[in-house]
Amino acid sequence: MEPLFSLTGIVFGHTSERPVFNGIDLTLNPSDRVALTGSNGSGKTTLLYLMVGLVRPQSGVLVAFGRHRRKEADFHEVRLRAGLLFDNSDSQLFCATVEDDVAFGPFNLGWPRARVEAAVRDTLERLDVATCRDRSPAELSYGEKRLVALATILAMEPDVMLLDEPTNGLDDSHVDTMVRALQTTKCALLVASHDRIFLKRVTTQCIRLDQGRIVSGSL
Amino acid sequence: MARPIVDSGDHAVLRPDPRLLILTVSVWIVLLILLRHPRGLVAAALAALILARALGVPWRLLGRRALALNGLLALWFPLLAFESFAPSAWPWSLSAERTLLFATVVLRANAILLLAQGLAGSMDAATMSCALMGLRCPPKLAHLMLLAARNLEILRDEWHTLYRAASLRGFRLTFRRRPWQTLGVLVGGLTLRSLDRADTILMAMKCRGYQGRVHILRRFRYHGADLVFVLIMLIAGSIIHWLDSTGG
């Protein structure tokens, strides 16, 4: 089976003196559910950004969905197939209403209107936020914003979801809703989080970022 | 449902199609600019007031906005209405012709304000941007409106967070130099955060396949009541035009 992502010898740093990654190797297969741990500032968010082309490595090879990705244009397909959940929901929810935000991705996938409407309805129901449909994201509670942000990428039916601190600031009931949604999804997961209980519930393997390299970890 | 651009309460008698309302208000603003006689302008201002009320804009809000506008216009009264406002021209003499001109400016400005309040009070920013898209206005303008509707709220919250954080550490705006320096730092901080926010939002949009087009789910349909609305506005517009043209 062809891996979804294959990163080889990735080197990246915001400045040349302090590289964040010193030759990272990572392979993510279609059925993988991987926890990504590491201390604050170890580069978990940067790694997720790098995988969808929001930052570019100084050297190394990034293969996603079977193709070598280098230029901005190469990443358009990657972003449609790999859903990234930002750690700040306000960055993810930029439209004036929840339904427009959830519909944004599916429309860009070129789906017909009826399919987009069904995807919006089903995803919001699945995450118990159907009542928020017509509201502005500004009117939502923190937990609702987090679930709606997850809905924006779930609605696109991605092959893999890259989740950055998905449970930050969530209460138990919202975490349970999120866990149920992630346990029932068939796509691969790469979850960057400090919440070990949550990671144990939704992932099956663990890697850790340590001093610019990926090492095997445990939960 | 998202909030209207101005809080109008929920007492609207008229709920026309948003596209129709934008078109009507635009046509009426052109009509107001073309009116010359105070009789026509008084009728237009009255019609605009009735429209704003029918669209659910409360008296309190209309009064507040009208006070602000007319307060500003009052500052111009001496310059516009007197023959000469120079100290050497004392005692200043009021010109009937210029006073009439000032009155037409006041009436026209108030009527436009009422129309704008009616428009902004009857729909949220998202609806307005969707309606603009429906009217085939330039997509960039509609997208700007759509994104501003959400992101200005975030910037406002960020400003409150910054200001509160400063206040909790003893910041108070006084006439001394130091608080103004702090205010400058806060405004600078907000600018940097805004730029950072704009970058992140663009990243989030790209991550969901953005390629220059924003689609919306909402669809508008004309109803029978919209035809009645158009007829009422046409008749009112014709009467105002007749009053203006027969004003002498």
In chain A, the percentage of residues whose pLDDT exceeds 90 is 82
- ipTM comes to 0.87
CA nearest neighbour of B208 among A168, A25, A152: A152
Buried b (16+ CB within 10 A) or exposed e, B179-202: eeebeeebeeebeebeeebeebbe
The answer to whether B214 contacts A91, with C-beta atoms less than 8 Å apart, is no
The model's pLDDT over A71-110, given as tens digits with 9 standing for 90+, comes to: 999 999 999 999 999 999 988 998 878 998 999 999 999 9
Q: Does A96 reach chain B within 8 Å, measured CB to CB?
A: yes
In this predicted structure, the answer to whether residue A120 has a pLDDT above a threshold of 70 is: yes
The residues near A141 (Cβ < 8 Å, ≥ 6 apart) are none
Alpha-carbon gap, residue A114 to A130, rounded angstroms: 17
CB contact under 8 A, A134 and B2: yes
Neighbouring residues of B171: CB distance < 8 A, sequence distance ≥ 6: B163, B179, B182
- List the CATH code of the domain at A32-54+78-216: 3.40.50.300
CB contact under 8 A, A94 and B2: no
Closest Cβ opposite residue A52 in set B149, B207, B210? B207
Q: How confident is the model at residue B1 (pLDDT cuts 50, 70, 90)?
A: very low
Per-residue DSSP letter, B90: P
CB A48 within 8 A of CB A166: no
In this prediction the pTM is: 0.78
Interface test with B, best of A69, A98, A108, A109 (most B CBs within 10 A): A108
Distance CA A1, CA B233 (A): 67
Quick one: pLDDT at residue A111?
A: 94
Domain boundaries, chain A: 32-54+78-216
The answer to whether B193 and B154 are in contact (CB under 8 A) is: no
Q: What is the pLDDT of residues B146-175, one digit of tens each?
A: 788 778 878 888 899 899 988 888 888 888
